[in-house]
Structure 1
Amino acid sequence: MRGMTDDMSAGERVAFYRQRRGLTQTVLAGLVGRTDDWLRKVEHDALPLDRLSILRRLAYALDVSLGDLIGEPVLMDWTEETGRRTVSALRVALMDHRQFLVGSYTTELVRLDSLARDIAEQWGDYQASRYARLTRRLPLLITDVQAACQQYDATSDEGVRAHELCASVHQVATAFLTKVGEADLAATAATRGLAAANSSGNALMIGSLYRSVAHALVSIGEYEQSAALTRAAADHLEPGLGTASPEYLSVYGMLHLVGAVASARDDDRGDTMAFLTEADEAATRLGIDANHLWTAFGPTNVAIHRMTTAMELGDVQVAVDLGPRIDTGALPTERRVRHAIETARAYVRWNRIDDALTMLLRAEQEAPEQVRYHRLSRNLVREMIRLPRPSSRAIELACRMGVHGTDPRKP
């Protein structure tokens, strides 16, 4: 119900959907194993509701998607760079019927070298958080790569490469779509990418796309499935660890970081720690913060995920202690800013509102589009401007982000 609940908090959305379902607070609280008093406080924003494990249980009880409760997806703005086609153009490209009909593309022969350069540029745009450029170019590249997969014999070197490129462009589409809250569309992109990777026979690409599918499963709230897929994919890659290249270690390590997040959001502390341990061992072998296959994997990314999973498990003090100490300077913009948003979240939960706002303002200077469209930053800013005496800096930031703070239940 994008539009109707855009300006609501998560608690207000729970109340909205509970009333739509005709449930009393007593009934819904019982369905999720909580008290009436807890739900009443949640619905009136007296208790924060940002742990996704709890939100997932509420979404299940209300028979809505996780995105319905966390306010995703966010409507992307039209800009000079995007034109008047944003995510909808990407949806059309992903669902293009011609990919299912052999010989249906009548375009000129796609040049794979040129296509590879264009896809690399899109990965660069993603890691630099340039969303407008992604929405402009990705639909065209998806169409081109789908055509290439039909134009070249799948058993030839060119055919294998075409499918590798197809996997890669669907992977960057998955990553971008999860950032802007288009979880269902991200899942479609990820599964298409994995199919292309399997057709290529490239073990590294297959492992990398397993990570994308696992990430997409996390984004739609299927945490158990994501963790299970991660384990299966890791088992598939494990025999190659003895002679693993840096690329191999990076893919293997990132798989485990996704598994750690999935397990943390499922409130499984033991599995979270086990996944982090495996990722840490891979990062130690790698030895540096690298960016093989666009993973940004290394010791620092493992540290970031330790902090993120601490927040998901409710260990706010641990997150507040860890977050500010992590030096993200060597990582791509997307990773630096995502960590800044998570640190701001920890500060808000620790009632350090000024520190959280300062963190978000710095992040906005570096990646305004990422801060504008990420659900966490939007929810944090909405909380800030609903305080009894919000700061002018918070109000100005909210205006730039298009976040409104008025409680929709009040006249």
Structure 2
Amino acid sequence: MDYRQITPFGADRPAADDAPTLAQLDRDLDDMWTAYQAASFGYVTARLPSLLAHAQAAAEYYNGDDLMHARRVLGLAYQLAATQLTKLGEAELAWIAADRGLNAARTTGDPVVTGSLYRSVTHALLSAGRYSEAVRLTERAAGYLEANLSQPTPELLSIHGTLFLASSMAASRNNDRTATRAFLDAADESAKRLGHDANHVWTAFGPTNVAIHRVATAAELGDVQVAIDLGPRIDTAPLPMERRVRHALEVARTYSRRNRVDDAQATLLDAEQLAPEQVRYHFLSRELVLGWIRQQPGKPSTVLVGLARRLNVLS
């Protein structure tokens, strides 16, 4: 929310000694994304403001190709901020971060970075409940990338595929089964072309992530039994921890919708063992636990009370 980013009274151009090197920026960006995918949410949140400030300083200092490099880093740093804020349930701040990241990315002319930021804006729209807009945006973004797909790099294939995964979630929340199926099939085609699970541009994209989204979209469309049948059978071991635990939260929510609360709580407790920070701070786990507490006909179990206290939803 630094006012210097949105007024004409920006800070003075950084001196050479104050501008970070591009190599250091690259290392810091990779460190932050790696920590996010390892579900170290506290680490990421504490250090993101510094990364954004350094990337902005670099974008103000450098020229030519170095300026484009700095803007790519700035765009991806804002994407990480938007992604993290979405997980924490901060939809409005996520939208601001995604919008600023896209503005930085578009100036680079880099389809991979720009496509990645389009995905970030889509997720921000999703978190704000603007599902039709999210679908339209991802369709336009996919069209923007289409010209580069005759001989795509693995990075571009991954970005292209994750755009369709995002749009499948938007379509399912909009109760559009036909569009959901079409988007999942398009993502599956990109995953087949890629050939394996990978993590290009921190997408965690591949066949397993497509399978995870088939479960999530089934749950959104009300096909809860389909989600229960498929979800627990997916081997998420090839994916980063954040993706693995996010899928576990979806499985827990699906169990809860079928009133299989014991299975849901067991799944959430297992996820907490893998990534305690992600479970503690993710809005979905907090909503689940708070709902279980409120729905208890009698006194909640000691295990549930302990979980609720660790998630700060019960004093």
TM range (shorter): over 0.9
Cα offset for 1:161? 0.3
Report whether the alignment pairs 1:138 with 2:31.
Answer: no
The answer for the alignment partner of 1:170 in structure 2 is 78
The answer for the alignment partner of 2:247 in structure 1 is 339
CA RMSD, 1 decimal:
1.5
Identify unmatched segments of 5+ residues in structure 1.
Answer: 1-90, 406-411
The answer for the alignment partner of 1:396 in structure 2 is 306
The answer for the alignment partner of 2:38 in structure 1 is 128
Q: Is the 8 A contact 2:4 2:11 kept in 1?
A: no
TM-score (norm 2): 0.95
The answer for the alignment partner of 1:249 in structure 2 is 157
- Write the distance in 1 (CA, Å) between the matches of 2:188 and 2:7: 40
For 2:276, give the aligned amino acid.
P
Cα offset for 1:141? 1.1
- Write the distance in 2 (CA, Å) between the matches of 1:377 and 1:170: 25
Q: Is the 8 A contact 2:161 2:190 kept in 1?
A: yes
- Write the distance in 1 (CA, Å) between the matches of 2:49 and 2:169: 29
Q: After alignment, is 160-169 or 366-375 more displaced?
A: 366-375
Q: Is the 8 A contact 2:4 2:10 kept in 1?
A: no
- Write the distance in 2 (CA, Å) between the matches of 1:100 and 1:126: 33
Cα offset for 1:263? 0.7
- Write the distance in 1 (CA, Å) between the matches of 2:11 and 2:309: 49
- Write the distance in 2 (CA, Å) between the matches of 1:304 and 1:350: 19
Structure 2 residue aligned with 1:266, among 174, 185, 190? 174
- Write the distance in 2 (CA, Å) between the matches of 1:398 and 1:103: 44
Structure 2 residue aligned with 1:113, among 1, 17, 23? 23
Cα offset for 1:248? 0.8
The answer for the alignment partner of 1:328 in structure 2 is 236
Q: Deviations over 1:265-299 (max 9, x none)?
A: 11111111111010000001111110000000000
Q: Is the 8 A contact 2:14 2:61 kept in 1?
A: no
Aligned-partner SS, 1:240: coil
Q: Is the 8 A contact 2:78 2:100 kept in 1?
A: yes
Q: Deviations over 1:3-35 (max 9, x none)?
A: xxxxxxxxxxxxxxxxxxxxxxxxxxxxxxxxx
- The structure with the larger Rg is 1
Cα offset for 1:130? 1.1
Report whether the alignment pairs 1:384 with 2:288.
Answer: no
- Write the distance in 2 (CA, Å) between the matches of 1:238 and 1:358: 43
Which runs of structure 2 are paired with 1:9-158 in the superposition (5 Å)?
A: 91-92=1-2, 95-97=3-5, 100-101=8-9, 104-107=12-15, 108-153=18-63, 156-158=64-66
Cα offset for 1:382? 1.6
- Write the distance in 2 (CA, Å) between the matches of 1:384 and 1:138: 33
For 1:337, give the aligned amino acid.
V
For 1:278, give the aligned amino acid.
A
- Write the distance in 2 (CA, Å) between the matches of 1:100 and 1:112: 26
Q: Is the 8 A contact 1:99 1:147 kept in 2?
A: no
The answer for the alignment partner of 1:72 in structure 2 is none
The answer for the alignment partner of 1:310 in structure 2 is 218
Aligned-partner SS, 1:307: helix
The answer for the alignment partner of 1:70 in structure 2 is none
- Write the distance in 1 (CA, Å) between the matches of 2:289 and 2:5: 41
Report whether the alignment pairs 1:182 with 2:83.
Answer: no
Cα offset for 1:209? 0.7
**Change over 3 Å in CA distance of 1:213–1:98 after alignment to 2:** closer
- Write the distance in 2 (CA, Å) between the matches of 1:352 and 1:98: 49
The answer for the alignment partner of 1:204 in structure 2 is 112
Cα offset for 1:99? 7.7
Q: Deviations over 1:114-151 (max 9, x none)?
A: 01101110001111111111121110111111111111
- Write the distance in 2 (CA, Å) between the matches of 1:151 and 1:163: 11
Q: After alignment, is 379-388 or 269-278 more displaced?
A: 379-388
The answer for the alignment partner of 1:192 in structure 2 is 100
The answer for the alignment partner of 1:295 in structure 2 is 203
**Change over 3 Å in CA distance of 1:129–1:100 after alignment to 2:** farther
Q: Deviations over 1:379-400 (max 9, x none)?
A: 2112222312433211111111
The answer for the alignment partner of 1:366 in structure 2 is 274
- Write the distance in 2 (CA, Å) between the matches of 1:212 and 1:373: 20
- Write the distance in 1 (CA, Å) between the matches of 2:248 and 2:78: 27
Aligned-partner SS, 1:364: helix
Aligned-partner SS, 2:148: helix
- Write the distance in 1 (CA, Å) between the matches of 2:222 and 2:8: 45
Cα offset for 1:96? 3.6
**Change over 3 Å in CA distance of 1:134–1:97 after alignment to 2:** same
Cα offset for 1:262? 0.6
- Write the distance in 2 (CA, Å) between the matches of 1:378 and 1:103: 39
TM-score (norm 1): 0.73
- Write the distance in 2 (CA, Å) between the matches of 1:104 and 1:98: 15
Aligned-partner SS, 1:200: coil
- Write the distance in 2 (CA, Å) between the matches of 1:284 and 1:311: 24
Q: Deviations over 1:345-388 (max 9, x none)?
A: 11111121111111101111111121112222112112222312
Q: Is the 8 A contact 1:269 1:313 kept in 2?
A: yes
